[in-house]
Amino acid sequence: MIPAPPPSPELFGAPVATWALVVSLLSFLIALVALGWQVFKHFLDGGRVKVYLNTAILEPEFMLAVNRSGRFALRDDSVARSVKYGKALEVAQLVVENPGRVPVTVYSPGLSISGHGKKDHSLVPRMFATGASFGPDEAIKDTVVRVEPYGRVTFLLDHWSVLPGLLSAAPRRRVVVRGFVGVAGRTNRPQKSSWSRRWRLRKGVYTAIKGSPEFTPLSVIWREMYGRIPEREDETNRHSNAGSRITRGMLRYMLDEAMSRFDERPDRAQLTEALNEIAKREGDGHPALNSAVFQAYEALDRMTGHLTAWSEGLFHFERERKEVNKNGATGVAD
């Protein structure tokens, strides 16, 4: 007869072997959690970015006002008046932040477009830069940028240079717009701004300013021509007799003087001739403004029904000069 085995030791009423199994299972679960956390932390600290798309108003060299909610909306206030009267531009602010602990290289900052009848794609519209005085909102025009850990970079995109054409060709008369940026090392995973903050734009939209405001013709022409004029004088490949090229800083004053010569909207050729005359007087021996004026007049046609009178917002330099001369002559005669 085989004697019965001695009873196994117990702890708190349960066999020690059971407790050993429980401890082993707990250790295994803790190890799995620790491993999962390390993997998760690796992705958190690795190369990733956050993208935000905001509407903004840029008055070159002076001011940048941003709606940081991400909505396609701007208040119709004193800042918006600068847009309606040709002193400031509506732009899209694309912000890219690096929340990780390693540097990230981003490229092709732009807009992701969908709903226009083709395969979803991104594009990089014309960009504007600002000076360092704009602080954290300083914008650059580089298309490949290294973003340091916990750093950010900002771009200002001229979305109105591409949206009218996309909307006119959209089969459903609307498009969806989100911010977009490529991340080096993640060629198949581009980063986009929030889906909940996407811009849903319909054909006929012409501004983010609320209330369907009227724009002066000066503001429409200036907005279209501004990006097509050199930012500053560039002597590269300039003809020896060409003189100083007309730059963006001079454009508004030239437009004001040229447009003030007409009580109503002139033919495109007439305005072009007036601008070329002023440009030559200012030293540009071979002004090339025809194409820019052509694009500006197309924009005027699209804005039909949302424009003020031709003369609103103009100083009428030429008329004022004539009035001063006339009054002066009359005063002498008296």
pLDDT per position as a tens digit, 183-239: 987 656 789 999 999 999 999 999 999 999 999 999 999 999 998 888 765 544 444
What does the pLDDT read at residue 332? 36
**Mean pLDDT rounded to a whole number for the chain:** 85
312/163 Cα distance (integer angstroms): 27
Nearest one of 172, 152, 139 to 56, comparing CA atoms: 139
**pLDDT digit string, tens, across residues 7-59:** 656 655 667 667 677 778 888 788 888 877 776 665 555 568 999 999 999 99
Q: Where are the beta strands (DSSP E) in 25-157?
A: 50-59, 63-67, 89-97, 104-114, 121-123, 127-128, 144-147, 152-157
The ranges assigned to domains in the chain are 50-202, 217-233+241-323
* Averaged pLDDT for residues 155-169: 92
pLDDT at 153 over 80: yes
Structure tokens at 36: 């999962």
221/274 Cα distance (integer angstroms): 14
Confidence of residue 334 (pLDDT cuts 50, 70, 90): very low
DSSP 244-282: SPP-HHHHHHHHHHHHTT-SSPPPHHHHHHHHHHHHHHT
For residues 221 and 185, the answer to whether their CB atoms sit within 8 Å is no
Nearest one of 87, 154, 103, 94 to 123, comparing CA atoms: 94
Structure tokens at 57: 């108003």
pTM of the model: 0.79
Domain 50-202: top CATH class = mainly beta
**pLDDT digit string, tens, across residues 261-286:** 999 999 999 999 999 999 999 888 77
Q: Cα-Cα-Cα-Cα dihedral of 267, 80, 124, 220, to 10°? A: 0
* Averaged pLDDT for residues 161-166: 91
* Averaged pLDDT for residues 235-260: 74
As a whole-number percent, the residues of the chain with pLDDT over 90 amount to 57
* Averaged pLDDT for residues 229-256: 71
Structure tokens at 242: 């060409």
Confidence of residue 240 (pLDDT cuts 50, 70, 90): very low
